[in-house]
Structure 1
Amino acid sequence: MKVLRYSTQIHKWVGLVVGLQVLFWVGGGLVMTAIPIETVRSEHRLKASTPAALPLEQILSLAEVSRLSGVTPVRAELKMTQRGAAWIMTPVEGASVTLDAETGRPFAGMRADEASALAAAAYRGEAALRSAVLLDQAPKETGRDGPIWRVDFDDAERTAFYLSPQTGEVVTRRSAVWRFYDFFWRLHILDFKDGDNFNHPLLIGLTVLTLSMVVTGFILLWIRLARDLKTAGAVRAARRKAAL
């Protein structure tokens, strides 16, 4: 039968093309379901903290901070950080500006010993702190731009805390578990550059091919079942005829 022959050929060659990616999809799915997302995010390594009260009597008004800094914000947030109260102002154009709410000026530069102390205070666990380094440009894995402090801990997951150089806050956490997970996630969506695009042509094309393999598989199954049922019916009819 031509349909059977064509379906078999399509199924075989498409299976060769997409089989490896199907393996990646299944393997990635297993990794993403087996490892709790809280572990991937190193949430178990971050201590719960209670924010300190804002020293309202010492805080400059937004108007005063705007005048001192020369920044006219379209949005402003007053918050308590590990290094004191801060105004975070977003101008019409450009990046947000973080200023000391008590002086209206940028926070003083953070030293390695201060970054280490803040990271250690936020860390949950018994592992020793290995290093604290100020990076001129945040690594791609942080999803951030600009300078950032990286503090590494000597635990089994090789946890790294990334701290804001202005406020000392732990802005993100990464570990060997996160990188292992991220590797399989990129395989899963076939985006090796940014790891966040699952609408690109390569993934769509392979998904279409995989769907065609499933459809031709059902066609093959239907044809073979129909043929087997027909053969079985003929055998039963022959037996009945022979028994008469």
Structure 2
Amino acid sequence: MKLKSNQYYIRKSHRYLGLILGVQFLFWTLGGLYFSWNDIDEVHGDHLRSEKQYFSSTMQMVSPQVVLEKLEANSAVDSVLSVQLIEIAGEPTYQVRYFSGAMDHSEHEAGGHMPSHTSNVKVQLANAGTGEFVSPLSEDEAVVVAKRQMADPVKVEKVEYLTEVGSHHEYREKPLPAWAVSFSQPDKCTVYVSAELGTFQAIRHDQWRVFDFLWMLHTMDYAGRDNFGNVLLKAFSIFGLLTILSGFVLYYMSSPSVRKGKKRMQRA
């Protein structure tokens, strides 16, 4: 029985690797075309948002210290993470984020910076004009905040209160709980507002959703979409390198010029 040559096995491996990788290369190319041909600011929905409004320098406000003293009198406050002046439905509001409870030692050494959804980071809203505490946003208040974000708001189609989302949800890795305020137009957009923080978090619309789906295909992270270090992507990178190298080897083994050069060397 005639033994098959190395060239046969290399050619067969190259063909199957090319077939498997070709599908993923097509996804990468389609994604790259969409990414490069779309304005990232429009993908983020910036063109749908109204211009940011600023507070007058003459408005009357109480000192943040008034809010902090009242907070310490009513809650267990270990330390303050931040005090920020925000706007809720046109009202100047203090957003106080503070630590309540034991803080992880490693976080303490790093300066105590922790994400807003960490269990021992609490949030308190207070009216900046009076210092009175403000409750987390109700549905009506969230709708007002969402509408004020839109340049041309239309009728609200649906409002949802989110306490948890999956790894593929368009509001993943954002502060919860949150209100999702959906509009029928433009582009079936949904505005997400954090109930506890009292602030706009994200706007999602059809253009972003297409981008997000192609991004998942691009990163090959089918579990959470945003992990560039996943095993599948690393494996396909190695397969791609093997495909290219096998192509170079096949070219060398099948090239007439190479064969002629070998024959000349043998005659010499």
Seen in structure 2, the aligned counterparts of structure 1 residues 196 and 33 have a Cα distance that, compared at 3 Å, is same
What residue identity is the alignment partner of 2:62?
E
Find the counterpart in structure 1 of residue 32 from structure 2: 29
1:122-159 C-alpha deviation (Å, 9 max, x unpaired) = 10136433233333335642222432111111224211
Find the counterpart in structure 2 of residue 14 from structure 1: 17
What residue identity is the alignment partner of 1:187?
L
Instruction: Give distance in 2, aligned partners of 1:127 and 1:76.
Output: 35
Q: Does 1:160 align with 2:190?
A: yes
Q: Pairwise mapping of residues 142-153 of structure 1 onto structure 2 (< 5 A)?
A: 142=171, 143-153=173-183
What residue identity is the alignment partner of 1:88?
V
Q: Does 1:179 align with 2:187?
A: no
Shift of 1:110: 3.3
Find the counterpart in structure 2 of residue 75 from structure 1: 81
Which residue of 143, 149, 156 corresponds with 1:122? 149
Instruction: Give distance in 2, aligned partners of 1:127 and 1:99.
Output: 28
Unaligned runs of 5+ in 2: 104-119
Unaligned runs of 5+ in 1: 235-244
**Cα RMSD over matched residues?**
2.9
Find the counterpart in structure 1 of residue 96 from structure 2: 88
Seen in structure 2, the aligned counterparts of structure 1 residues 72 and 104 have a Cα distance that, compared at 3 Å, is farther
Please identify, of 73-82 and 32-41, the stretch whose mean Cα deviation from structure 2 is larger: 73-82
Seen in structure 2, the aligned counterparts of structure 1 residues 226 and 156 have a Cα distance that, compared at 3 Å, is farther
Task: Using structure 2 for the length normalisation, give the TM-score.
Answer: 0.74
Instruction: Give distance in 2, aligned partners of 1:104 and 1:67.
Output: 13
What residue identity is the alignment partner of 1:116?
V
Find the counterpart in structure 2 of residue 241 from structure 1: none
Seen in structure 2, the aligned counterparts of structure 1 residues 145 and 129 have a Cα distance that, compared at 3 Å, is same
1:94-139 C-alpha deviation (Å, 9 max, x unpaired) = 133133154463x235343332222222101364332333333356
Instruction: Give distance in 2, aligned partners of 1:39 and 1:159.
Output: 12
3-state SS, counterpart of residue 125 of structure 1? coil
Shift of 1:7: 2.8
Q: Does 1:218 align with 2:253?
A: no
3-state SS, counterpart of residue 158 of structure 1? coil
Asked if 2 retains the 8 angstrom alpha-carbon contact of 1:133 and 1:150, the reply is: yes
Instruction: Give distance in 1, aligned partners of 2:125 and 2:77.
Output: 11
Shift of 1:229: 8.2
3-state SS, counterpart of residue 121 of structure 2? coil
Find the counterpart in structure 1 of residue 115 from structure 2: none
Seen in structure 2, the aligned counterparts of structure 1 residues 227 and 10 have a Cα distance that, compared at 3 Å, is farther
Task: Using structure 1 for the length normalisation, give the TM-score.
Answer: 0.80
Q: Pairwise mapping of residues 224-243 of structure 1 onto structure 2 (< 5 A)?
A: 224-227=254-257, 230=260
Instruction: Give distance in 2, aligned partners of 1:153 and 1:39.
Output: 17
1:20-51 C-alpha deviation (Å, 9 max, x unpaired) = 22222222222222222112211111112133
Return the index of the structure with the highest Cα Rg.
1
Q: Does 1:52 align with 2:60?
A: no
1:175-227 C-alpha deviation (Å, 9 max, x unpaired) = 22222111111111111121111112211111101111111112223444444
Instruction: Give distance in 1, aligned partners of 2:191 and 2:26.
Output: 33
Shift of 1:162: 0.5
Asked if 2 retains the 8 angstrom alpha-carbon contact of 1:151 and 1:161, the reply is: yes
Seen in structure 2, the aligned counterparts of structure 1 residues 66 and 78 have a Cα distance that, compared at 3 Å, is farther
What residue identity is the alignment partner of 2:93?
A
* Higher helix fraction (1 or 2): 1
Give the share of equivalent positions with the same residue, in percent: 23
Please identify, of 108-117 and 193-202, the stretch whose mean Cα deviation from structure 2 is larger: 108-117
